Amino acid sequence: MALLESDVPIREVVTTDPQKAKALENDVRAKVLDMLVEEEMTIEEIHGELQRRGEDKAETTVRHHVNVLKDAGMVEIARLEEAGGGTRKYYKSNTRVFSYDLPERADETLAGAQETATEGAESLVETLYAEHGDEIEAVAREMKPCEYCETQHYEEFVVRELLNRALVEAFETGALDDVIDGGN
């Protein structure tokens, strides 16, 4: 006899590739991404800012963390400068990570907005499949199965990736600034 039985619905989906997930395993790397999304910085500047934020890491450790993020495609070299017979590298993040929790009553407060978003998402996905279903399915077929996973949702992943990229582009280009800022 079971002591507890509960239908546990999916409430959240995190989409990322395995290399990015591994890069984010360390909270110092999340801090580095946060710093580099706003401005380009050298290893020395990152090291100093981490110390200011209470992370006492050796400069070689900071370099390692930046290299892990760079190898995962989350950080790029933004600028090179000649400096004292060498080259100074400035790094910048191309990835924004949101690590927030909604307030306690957010589900209740946002119920109407969630309903609107769900209806809009359903309509948008229907339109995507009507206009681009063959391309979505072709990309999904090309994806390699995870050796540890039995159930795959490749088409869902592709659609989520499309929606995420569209949101990133809309926000980063400023196309939604007036909507979010209320026209201020």
Band of pLDDT at residue 180, cut at 50, 70 and 90 = confident
Res. 128: pLDDT tops 70: yes
**pLDDT on residue 150:** 59
Where exactly are the structural domains of the chain?
18-93, 112-177
Res. 113: pLDDT tops 80: yes
**pLDDT on residue 68:** 96
CA dihedral over 19, 125, 183, 111, signed as positive or negative: negative
Q: Please tell me the distance from the alpha carbon of residue 147 to that of residue 150, in angstroms, as a whole number.
A: 8
Domain 18-93 has CATH 2.60.120.560: no
CA R_g for the chain:
21
Band of pLDDT at residue 9, cut at 50, 70 and 90 = confident
DSSP 41: B
Average predicted confidence (pLDDT) for the chain: 89
DSSP 39: S
Overall average pLDDT of the 95-114 stretch: 91
Q: Please tell me the distance from the alpha carbon of residue 152 to that of residue 61, in angstroms, as a whole number.
A: 36
Overall average pLDDT of the 34-43 stretch: 94
- Cβ neighbours of residue 81 closer than 8 Å, sequence gap 6 or more: 87, 88, 90
Tokens linked to 92: 């910048």
pTM over 0.85: no
Res. 182: pLDDT tops 80: no
Chain segment 140-179, per-residue pLDDT in tens: 888 877 666 656 788 899 999 999 999 989 988 888 888 8
Name the more confident of 180 and 15: 180
CA 99-91-17 angle, 5° bins? 50
Chain segment 39-77, per-residue pLDDT in tens: 999 999 999 999 999 999 999 999 999 999 999 999 999
Overall average pLDDT of the 123-129 stretch: 96
**pLDDT on residue 3:** 82
**pLDDT on residue 112:** 97
